Amino acid sequence: MASASATGYNALLVSIVLLATVCECTAETPYAAGLSEDFYQKTCPQAASIVDAYVTKFLRKDRNFAGAFNRLQFHDCWVGGCDGSVLLNSTETNQAEREAHVNFGLRGVAEVDQIKAALEHSCPGVVSCADILIMAARDATAKVGGPSWPVAMGRRDGVNSSSLMADSNLPFPVLNFSGLVANFAGKGFNAREMITLSGAHTIGRTHCNGILPHLYNFTGKDDATDTDPAMNKNFAVFLKNHCPQGNRTNTIFIDSTANTFDRAYYKNVLQGKGIFITDAALITNPAGKKVVTTFSKPGSAFFTEFAAGMVKMGNLGVLTDTEGQIRRTCQFVN
């Protein structure tokens, strides 16, 4: 009997150890395989502080750069994954992502190169351009009143960049609600997450290029009266004063508090003051309007869900280990 009890006890111990091992191996992590929060702890422990210092410097010069850094992460990760490809220059034989129609007016590339130069001085060949984009977007968001979130590092840089890929993957500012849902679903995001990440429009500015279809060509007539009828009439007049018909290059703030990350974006959308067709589209669907209404109120989960969405986005198509390269300058492959 004693021997049988010992055998049973030993079997129980083995079972517990095996269960613990399985639990440890299958524990959920918010990060893609190969990424970790302490990735540069030994090779470049000052990486995060260098990025943070430069983002602070840029925001002191122009607080609206927060929107630019957010846009860079989105426009990078949505096209072939978070591999820094949005930063690459075109070559004689290739038109890069930055030349795509949907990337018109993209800002922040030169600033990322400044950060990269500082990191190369401190830790040559260690920190990827792809990771810089992730850190800069987080730091910039937090510095203008938005949420912060943990960032995992370890991405490597891609060597391919295609304007056709950008125009095929990124959502154009004329999509309706179902088009937006389909675009985000293709990257693994649901409708609520799409509405949450649209909240990035609470900071930043845009060229008139993306607004004109909302003001003058809403139904395809291409005239001065062809404005979205759901748009607040006074707001439409305001936009037309800043973006005359045919003017693609003037710039305008996307949000009424464009230098501060807050809930004003959702309030504006509910009032018919969405800058883009995609903004106004969020409330054309009853479920979408319910989310927008919720996020417009104090105490909503917008900040928390936005942070989670940015972490999730940062996992898209990452290159790790020996894939890709660590570019010495972000606009050129090695």
Does the annotation list 257 as a binding residue? yes
Active site residue 75: yes
CA angle 255, 133, 274 (to 5 degrees): 15
> Is residue 135 a contact partner of residue 62, using CB atoms and an 8 Å limit?
no
> Is residue 259 a contact partner of residue 64, using CB atoms and an 8 Å limit?
yes
Name the catalytic one among 75, 121, 207, 214: 75
Does the annotation list 139 as a binding residue? no
> CA nearest 127: which of 186, 40, 205?
40
Q: Is the dihedral of CA 232, 238, 243, 244 positive or negative?
A: positive
**Cα distances (angstroms) measured from residue 23 to each of 10, 20, 41, 292:** 20, 5, 26, 38
**Coil vs helix vs strand at 229:** coil
Distance, CA of 320 to CA of 89 (rounded, Å)? 22
- DSSP string over 60-100: HH-TTHHHHHHHHHHHHHTTTSSSSGGGPPPBTTB--GGGS
Does the annotation list 97 as a binding residue? yes
Q: Which two tokens stand for residue 293?
A: 């209404």
Does the annotation list 226 as a binding residue? no
Does the annotation list 76 as a binding residue? yes
Burial class (CB in 10 A: 0-12, 13-18, 19+), 209: middle
Does the annotation list 255 as a binding residue? yes
Does the annotation list 214 as a binding residue? no
Axis crossing angle, helix 47-61 with helix 109-122, rounded to the nearest 10: 150
Phi-psi region of 209 (alpha: psi -120 to 50; beta: other; left: phi over 0): alpha
Residue positions forming the annotated binding site for heme b: 201
Active site residues: 75
Residue positions forming the annotated binding site for substrate: 171
Residue positions forming the annotated binding site for Ca(2+): 76, 79, 81, 83, 85, 97, 202, 255, 257, 262
